[in-house]
Structure 1
Amino acid sequence: MIRYRLGAGATSVRWATSPVHEVVSLARLLTEPRRHPVFHPWLRRRRQRLAGLDLSALTDFMADGAYRPDFLDPTPPTSDPTFDEGMAALLAAPVEQVHAELVDATARLEPTARRRLLDDPARTRADAAAAVRRLWRAAVEPEWPSMRQALRAELLDRAVQVNREGLRAVLPRLHPSVTSDGDTVTVESAVDVETDCPDGLILVPSLFITDRVQCTTSDHWSPAICYPATGRYLWSAPATPRSLDRLLGATRARILAALTTPLQTTVVAHLVSVTNPTASEHLTVLRDAGLIDSTRTGRTVTHELTAAGRAVLDAAPTHR
């Protein structure tokens, strides 16, 4: 078990996003893609972007469920850090921390490869950071606006739930392995660790983990738990109520259901298998009907449900 000892109540917990965590989790996903079929369509569409990327400095010690060193995944310094802020924290990880974590992370490697990584931990850290940056630019940065919106929507939803029901009621919903008892948050784990959280515990939703939580207990970072976010509609569209098919048409109904998570136009088009111009036409109709809002930042347009759109979805009685 991993036990996090908190201070008093929900004030000892804060929520944050982490673009670096998303990149590192995607890297691990690429070492075991069969385990996560929900991502297969997304990965197929990005095959060209990912082809030829040298990620070995990042994935060498990730295969077969090996321990992922904490220095790769620094605790977010703020609730909504930039990728560069996260990278600065990664590169600032103390060399002694990097070496200590690599001892465990490389235990399954053959001796020559292990010695190469352990003999120069500063270089190992720099090489891993360079691989993180390559994967960010190739696959995550182009879609970060939608991902960030989905994660921010998750944080808002959880904040509302905690205010309404209390932290103890909400924690088990993050993942079945997480529970709360008094001032202690417990995560089921094969390791036995207790850690104090003098500056609080950070909860980080992740779009690229599905069946586990990832815990940080390093003395060099604030303790954190990364858990599967609910914004899965970035990868596959949810089922839609049959009644909405008849009311709105099948494509618009699917778009409306997908926008439970805020999404960019290109992501919407991929989810419902239409061209970008066709998606834009459907989105315009839904916006004119007052069911969605659209926000432009530069050349990026992000769409999300209005209160009326949520009411329409909530009122639909049956799903496929």
Structure 2
Amino acid sequence: MLRIHFTTEDLLKTRVISSPDPMWELVLSVFRLRRRLAVARYEPWYRQVRADAARSDLLQRVRLMLMPMIPASGYFPDFLTPENRRRGGVESIIESVVGSPGSVLRGQLDLLDRGRGSAWLERLYEADLAAREDLRKLLRDYHRIALAPYWNVIRNSVEADRAIRTRALLDGGVHGLLHSYPPLMRWAPPVLHVRYAVEQTLHLNGRGLLLAPSHFGQGPANSLADPALPPVLVYPAGHDRTAAPVTVRALGRLMGGTRASILIATETATTSGELARRVGVSAATVSHHLSALRAAGLLNTLRQGELILHTRTSTGSALVNAAHTSGT
């Protein structure tokens, strides 16, 4: 259990991440690559990444370098998920990881059980320049194979969760937001109780908290081990269990004013009943059109407590924005 203590200032500074964090997704995807049977939704990704990585030595490098740093359970180094360069793009983040000071590398790698680690990890511990270059190339190659081709799916997952949190914030303020996470989290002001791998207490002390939904997150939440670093809480994003692959046939079913109205109305997370009232059709009609929009990859449907909420994917938003731009 992780107990996060808030002050009034912390509540004012608490926010939800605006887009997926590439390094958190990378680190957590390594867990999924290792534990493919845990969740069936990752099975297609697992099969494709394994096949693509097998065409080179990438899978071997992941096993020798990344997996010793990211064990099957427990601690992994904070320097793998830097917050300070997140807005600079993937290359900037990778450079921040690779350029971590030697003292940071040694201090954080000391917390790992390196008894069965690779010789490469020992060279990284000594801040060896060749080991740093190996890490740079590995992170670039892994991102290119395991993350970049799936970034739309990752982004949709995070944006759908963010839409739910936005609704909770609008309906109930920050307290409503923090109450929107059961069963993973329980908000008992001024403490947020979070399902976590170890017993830990974190005092925010006026710094606020960054809440970060993750597509590859699964099970308990994750956070940084060093309480002096900017506080972040990474948790599994809600996902659309009814999503279907996008097909030309499905896209062809989108023609019509009712579906366009529904798509426009789902800018924020919305229930079927609300959509029926806004668009002026029956619940059965809304349900039919929601199925078509989901099949075309333009809508996500997620469960939040007893509510079933619908929100646009980034593709759906792009379609609406294009229509606004062209005046149609």
- Compute the TM-score of the two structures, normalised by the length of structure 1: 0.69
Equivalence for 1:249: none
Matched, 1:138 2:145: yes
Distance, in Å, in 1 between the alignment partners of 2:12 and 2:85 is 17
Equivalence for 1:49: 52
Distance, in Å, in 2 between the alignment partners of 1:149 and 1:167 is 23
Matched, 1:103 2:113: no
Distance, in Å, in 1 between the alignment partners of 2:2 and 2:33 is 27
Q: Structure 1 residues 292 and 45 mapped into 2: Cα distance closer, same or farther (>3 Å)?
A: farther
In structure 1, give the amino acid aligned to 2:16.
Answer: W
Equivalence for 1:268: 245
Distance, in Å, in 2 between the alignment partners of 1:112 and 1:27 is 20
Q: Structure 1 residues 194 and 141 mapped into 2: Cα distance closer, same or farther (>3 Å)?
A: same
In structure 2, give the amino acid aligned to 1:163.
Answer: L
Equivalence for 1:281: 249
How many residues align structurally? 268
What SS does structure 2 have at the residue aligned with 1:211? Answer: coil
Equivalence for 1:11: 12
Equivalence for 2:235: 227
Q: Structure 1 residues 290 and 46 mapped into 2: Cα distance closer, same or farther (>3 Å)?
A: farther
Equivalence for 1:300: none
Please give the per-residue CA displacement for 1:211-252, whole angstroms capped at 9, x wherever unaligned.
12111242563111100101x34xxx51xxxxxxxxxxxxxx
In structure 2, give the amino acid aligned to 1:214.
Answer: N
Equivalence for 1:32: 35
In structure 1, give the amino acid aligned to 2:113.
Answer: T
Alignment of 1:18-167 (within 5 A): 18-51=21-54, 52=56, 53=58, 54-55=61-62, 56-75=64-83, 82-109=89-116, 115-120=122-127, 127-167=134-174
Displacement after TM superposition at 1:39 (Å): 1.0
In structure 2, give the amino acid aligned to 1:49.
Answer: D
Distance, in Å, in 2 between the alignment partners of 1:81 and 1:155 is 21
- Compute the TM-score of the two structures, normalised by the length of structure 2: 0.68
What SS does structure 1 have at the residue aligned with 2:187? Answer: strand
Which structure 1 segments of 5+ residues have no match? Answer: 239-257, 259-266, 270-278, 294-303
Displacement after TM superposition at 1:95 (Å): 2.9
Which structure 2 segments of 5+ residues have no match? Answer: 292-328
Distance, in Å, in 1 between the alignment partners of 2:118 and 2:237 is 38
Please give the per-residue CA displacement for 1:242-276, whole angstroms capped at 9, x wherever unaligned.
xxxxxxxxxxxxxxxx3xxxxxxxx833xxxxxxx
Matched, 1:215 2:223: yes
Please give the per-residue CA displacement for 1:181-202, whole angstroms capped at 9, x wherever unaligned.
3333333442334343433111
Q: Structure 1 residues 45 and 188 mapped into 2: Cα distance closer, same or farther (>3 Å)?
A: closer
Percent of aligned pairs with the same amino acid: 21
